[in-house]
Structures are given as C-alpha cells and as structure tokens.
C-alpha cells in the first residue's frame, strides 16, 4: 500500500531487505560467510554512516513520502515495564523488589514517528545482527580448525535451568517447594584419532549459586579428568553466553590471564586460555541439548517410580544411562557428534568461593566478545569479536585474514584489588544472627511460631542441624540462664552471646530411606514454665545460642505448609525438601568458611570433621 513508485518495493519489504538497504554491501569472509564491514555496523563509514541530512543515507525506505507523512500508523513495540513484586529472600523473609518485565505494547502514532523509531532501532540492531552472525560463524570455524591445532580444545558451557525433583506421589509440601539440582554441561571439542569430536561432561550439584566460582571449579575437575585419561591440553578456548555473574565478569578475565589452572588436590596445570562470548540472546547450542537430555531422563525415571529425593540421588539415578552413549558411525558424524559423555557430581562444600575486587578492564568487559591470555598473569588481549581465520587461529599465528569485519586487539591489565573476606567465623555468624533476629523482631508476632534450623556440633555421621519453633524473640543472656543443662554464671550484653527460647523438635531417621528430614511429632500442649522441673510431659521451651540459628526462616504463616504429618508414619513430621536443602547449603558454606578463613569456632559451630577411610 504505497505510492506509485514505492508499491512494488513495499510488497516485498522485510527486515532483511531493510537491513541490507541501510548499509554498504556485504563482503565474503575467509571463514565462509558474508558480512558487513565493522565500520558500517559501528556507524563510522563515510558512505552509509550518519550524515547531516539522514541517519541512514543509503536507506531508500525513509525517502518515500509516505514514510514521513502525518498519517496514522499502528504497530507493536517490545519494551520493558517496571513493577514492584513481593519475594522471599534466602533468609525466608518477604521483601518488596522492583523488577523489569519485557512486554509487547500496541502503539498508535504517525508514519513519520514510526520511521524515526525504525531508524533508531536499526542503529543498535545492525551491530547486534553482525555480532550474532559473526560469532556463530567463528565458533563453527574454530571447531573445524582444531584438526590443525593438536593440544587445543574448545569448552562450550552454559548453565541449564535447575532440575526440579517432582514425584508422582509427592506430598503437599513437596508440591509447592521442590528440591533443585544444578545442571552445568560442558561440551569439549578436541582432536581424537585425526578427527574433531565432541565430548560431554555434565556436572550435577546441590550447589545452587550458579556463579563463576562454581564454573572455575568444574573446569579444574574437567581438566584433571582429561589429564588422568592421558589427554594433552595446552590451550583452552572457552565459549559461553555473556551472563554477567557466571561468565562475563572481571573474575573470569583474571582467571583467563593465568598461565596455570589449579586442579583438585592442589596440583597445577600449565595452559593458555581464552574466553569467547556469543551475542546476547544467541548463546543456545549443544550444551543446552545436554541439559535437555539429562533432565528428560530424570523426569522419565521419576514419572515411572524412581524416587530421587536429593541431587545425589538424581546423579546416581541418571549417571549410568547417560554415560551409556553409543559412538556414532563415521558416515553419520557431523561437527557436534558426541564421542562420549561423562556425568560428575560436585558437592556444595567442595567449591571454594573467593570474594575479590579487581582493578583494570574498566567498562571493557561488556562491549567485547573475545578475551585471550598471553601467558602472563594479569595481562589480557581483548577484541570486539572473535576470529578463527587461518591467521588468528593457528599454531603459528600471523596477520588476520578478515580484519575488515572486526576491530583491532588491545592489550589490557587486570589485577586483584583486595580480598573482601577479612572476617573470622565468630564475626560472620554474629552479624548474621543479629540481622536475622532484628528482622524477626520487626515482623508480625515478633517471629514467634516461626520455624528455624539449629546448627549442632555433631559427629560427621549424624544430622548436622535440628528444627525448632520460636517461643520468644532473641534477647541478651542473663545470669542463671540454663543453656544445654548448664547454668550461666554471668549475663552478657554482647551480640555474640544472645540467646533465644525455642521449642525444639527431635530428629528421626527416615524409615523408608528416602533421605527426608523427619522429626518426631511433639506433644500437643506446651509448658509455660521458665525452668522445666515438673513431670507434665508437655512440650517445653529451652534456651539456645542465637548464633546457632541458620536461615532460611519459615514464617509462622507458612509453618504448617512446610512442616506436616507423614502419611503412614503416625509419629513423624517432614520438613519440605527445598527448605531442608537451603539449610544444608547454609551450613556447608559456614563450614567451608571456617576451614578457609579461621581456626576458631563458636560453641554452636562444630570443629572440622575428619571422615575415617575405614
């Protein structure tokens, strides 16, 4: 529907034709595709770049009279909308949070306003489209060039969405809050027997943080596995999406600059590393397929009666079947064909987390997609895009064969600024305890009736925490308070000595072996005496060290949903698995902190456990 001169062009108009008409013609790259020059998509070209009269001088669409008319135009745009939602934090408290939601919105304006909006959109879209296509092409080319670079390997990684443990016969509590398992597949491409093959390493874990520390830990485990198998690796090229808390952050760039990788057990492996990033929203690939295979197998097993209560059960359930992979015939082999699959479990307590700040690479991480180590700690080469031409990706690198599509490499320094973990364990637990009880005192009922976990100083083969219902808010310790059958000789005004009165539950083993956190059902009535010296057989409160409480807190309103009777076990109550998993995670993190940062411990914190090898 256009004028006499434009009607034919409008009939075949598409986003592709608009894009092509806005920039100079594409050129062929050595890696096989056709792309616009970097100066065109970066808007610095003298021919297609912005001029005094037009944002896109070559775009004929904007020169049509109808494009600049005041006539009404109706269209839809994708935009973000901010709203406030109520969420529950890691400590179990409700809080308000502002979130942005992507929505489609109907708009009515003039043709001229729509044309202006389209041009503004093309500025960002032209660069986005170029990065998406070029990076995908370079990844494929890099995989293919591995046949000429023995000792090099590519590691493609991406966190999958957590696996939710959903059981056909789940209880009400399990229905609303499911146990989660982290899934991180890493697909390794390397030269095997003269051909480039893919190998899958699927990491499963009860560690739910999804951060860079977990990624680097898994890389170390993977490299050790490869060394144990006799594989020689001297250069690693990582590929991933650009998630800012998992992959694309300064901590990762400092890691890439390292000339060595630290392996489990303390050994080191000399290696040169680089990290390449797909364009935003274009990072899906074979690693995501591995997530789908893993989760589909688990879901099928659970739907057919296999009960997998926790992440370790999931790992043990799917490992054998996933690793029973048949190698494809050479006639059916393609670029991403898997030669083998290995499934590994990472215990939450085994991941070392380091809180460090960095100097360098200011404002350079987000806008670049290629970062290379140069065999010198703290020095890194960054570049707008990756390049897998015969000059850049070679055992003897030479001049780039397709520089017109990219920008020049630049050398940068990055260094650790300071270690942020300077607290000892006593300070860590005291500060958290003060925060928890302060928030509870401001909540409805002052937290009375809420469920809390109490950390215990038990041997390694026993449960490490119990459950309790809050009877009174935490307070300062008083003289003659009785804690664990011992009368206190003096009071205290220090936060670390605060006490809390609770109704404690007695833990019990799961008779069905499902690993559930079960507790004996307490007496129906409660004793209100300060010191229990009667024989009333009621449920009585007792004082505990406030620092022994571990988050999350189960609000008294949710207590009956999270802790409920077990069908078939008259004397038992079960805590929902998700809450139990979060408490386990918190306790493990505290123990890891203690072992790495201090030799001191509080009475409510157990000593380092030594597990017998017998």
**pLDDT of res. 7:** 57
Q: For 304, which DSSP code?
A: T
Q: What percent of the chain has pLDDT over 70?
A: 90
CA distance 392 to 152: 14
296-307: string of b/e by CB count within 10 Å (b at 16+)? eebeebbeeeeb
Q: Mean pLDDT of all residues in the chain?
A: 86
Length of the chain in residues, anyone?
A: 614
CA distance 574 to 173: 9
Retrieve residue 87's tokens.
């969420």
CA dihedral sign of residues 144, 145, 149, 155: negative
Residues in Cβ contact with 558 at an 8 Å cutoff, skipping those fewer than 6 apart: none
Hunting for tokens 């499963």 — which residue is that?
A: 204
Burial class (CB in 10 A: 0-12, 13-18, 19+), 40: buried
CA distance 432 to 439: 11
Q: Are 185 and 287 in contact (CB under 8 A)?
A: yes
Question: Maximum CA pair distance of the chain?
Answer: 100
Stretch (H or E) spanning 92: none
Higher pLDDT: 214 or 82? It is 214
Higher pLDDT: 555 or 251? It is 251
pLDDT tens column, 389-445: 999 998 888 999 999 999 999 999 998 875 545 566 678 788 888 888 888 888 878
Q: Are 178 and 312 in contact (CB under 8 A)?
A: no
CA distance 11 to 80: 31
pLDDT tens column, 131-176: 999 999 999 999 999 999 999 999 999 999 999 998 887 766 666 6
**pLDDT of res. 494:** 87
353-382: string of b/e by CB count within 10 Å (b at 16+)? beeeebebbeebbeebbbbbbeeeebbbbb
Burial class (CB in 10 A: 0-12, 13-18, 19+), 208: middle
**pLDDT of res. 257:** 93
pLDDT tens column, 274-310: 999 999 888 889 999 999 999 999 999 999 989 898 9
Q: Please give the sequence-ordered ranges of beta strands (E in DSSP) within 169-242, or none if there are none.
A: 180-192, 195-205, 235-240
Mean pLDDT, range 476-501, rounded to an integer: 88
pLDDT tens column, 532-553: 567 788 888 888 888 888 888 8
81-107: string of b/e by CB count within 10 Å (b at 16+)? eeeeeeeeeebbbeeeeeeeeeeeeee
Burial class (CB in 10 A: 0-12, 13-18, 19+), 71: exposed
Work out whether strand 235-240 and strand 152-157 pair parallel, antiparallel, or are unpaired.
parallel
- Name the nearest CA neighbour of 41 among 56, 62, 60, 63: 56
Cβ neighbours around 516 below 10 Å, total? 22
Hunting for tokens 């790259």 — which residue is that?
A: 29
**pLDDT of res. 292:** 96
Hunting for tokens 């003269």 — which residue is that?
A: 194
CA distance 72 to 320: 63
Q: For 521, which DSSP code?
A: P
For residue 215, pLDDT over 60 is answered with yes
For residue 612, pLDDT over 60 is answered with no
């Amino acid at each position: 529907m256009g004028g006499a001169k434009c009607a034919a062009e409008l009939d075949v108009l598409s986003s592709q034709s608009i894009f092509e008409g806005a920039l100079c013609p594409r050129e062929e790259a050595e890696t096989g595709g056709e792309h616009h020059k970097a100066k065109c998509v970066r808007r610095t070209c003298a021919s297609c770049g912005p001029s005094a009269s037009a944002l896109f001088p070559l775009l004929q669409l904007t020169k049509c009279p109808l494009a600049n008319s005041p006539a009404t135009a109706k269209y839809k745009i994708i935009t973000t909308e901010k709203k406030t939602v109520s969420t529950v934090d890691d400590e179990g408290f409700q809080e308000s949070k502002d979130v942005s939601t992507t929505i489609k919105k109907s708009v009515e304006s003039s043709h001229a306003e729509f044309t202006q909006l389209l041009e503004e959109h093309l500025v960002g879209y032209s660069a986005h489209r170029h990065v998406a296509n070029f990076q995908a092409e370079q990844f494929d080319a890099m995989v293919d060039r591995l046949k000429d670079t023995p000792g090099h390997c590519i590691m493609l990684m991406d966190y999958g969405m957590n696996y939710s443990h959903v059981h056909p016969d789940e209880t009400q509590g399990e229905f609303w809050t499911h146990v989660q398992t982290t899934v991180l597949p890493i697909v390794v491409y390397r030269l095997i027997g003269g051909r480039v093959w893919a190998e899958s390493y699927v990491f499963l874990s009860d560690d739910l943080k999804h951060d860079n520390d977990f990624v680097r830990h898994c890389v170390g485990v993977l490299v050790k596995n490869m060394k144990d198998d006799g594989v020689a690796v001297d250069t690693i090229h990582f590929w991933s999406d650009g998630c800012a808390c998992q992959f694309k952050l300064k901590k990762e760039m400092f890691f890439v600059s390292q000339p060595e990788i630290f392996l489990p057990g303390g050994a080191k492996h000399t290696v040169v590393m680089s990290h390449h990033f797909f364009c935003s929203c274009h990072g899906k690939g074979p690693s995501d397929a591995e997530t789908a295979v893993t989760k589909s197998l688990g879901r099928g097993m659970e739907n057919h009666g296999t009960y997998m209560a926790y992440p370790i059960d999931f790992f043990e359930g799917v490992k054998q079947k996933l690793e029973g992979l048949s190698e494809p015939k050479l006639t059916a082999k393609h670029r991403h064909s898997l030669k083998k699959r290995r499934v590994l479990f990472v215990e939450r307590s085994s991941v070392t987390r380091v809180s460090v700040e960095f100097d360098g690479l200011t404002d350079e991480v987000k806008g670049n997609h290629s970062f290379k180590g140069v065999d010198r700690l703290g020095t890194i080469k960054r570049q707008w895009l990756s390049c897998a031409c015969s000059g850049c990706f070679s055992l003897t690198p030479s001049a780039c064969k397709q520089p017109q599509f990219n920008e020049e490499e630049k050398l940068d320094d990055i260094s650790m600024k300071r270690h942020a973990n300077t607290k000892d364990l006593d300070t860590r637990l005291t500060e958290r305890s003060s925060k928890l009880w302060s928030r509870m005192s401001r909540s409805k009922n002052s937290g009375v009736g809420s469920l809390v976990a109490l950390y215990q100083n038990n041997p390694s083969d026993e449960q490490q925490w119990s459950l309790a219902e809050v009877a009174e808010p935490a307070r300062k310790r008083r003289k003659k308070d009785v804690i664990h059958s011992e009368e206190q000789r003096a009071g205290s005004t220090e936060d670390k000595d605060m006490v809390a009165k609770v109704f404690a539950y007695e833990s019990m083993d799961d008779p069905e072996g499902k690993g559930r956190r079960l507790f004996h059902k307490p007496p129906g009535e409660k004793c209100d005496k300060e010191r229990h010296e009667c024989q009333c057989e009621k449920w009585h409160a007792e004082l505990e060290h406030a620092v022994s409480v571990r988050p999350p807190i189960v609000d008294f309103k949710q207590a009956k949903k999270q802790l409920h009777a077990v069908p078939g076990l008259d004397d038992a109550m079960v805590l929902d698995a998700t809450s139990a998993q979060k408490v386990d995670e918190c306790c493990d993190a505290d123990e890891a902190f203690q072992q790495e940062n201090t030799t001191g411990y509080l009475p409510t914190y157990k000593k380092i456990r030594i597990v017998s090898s017998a």
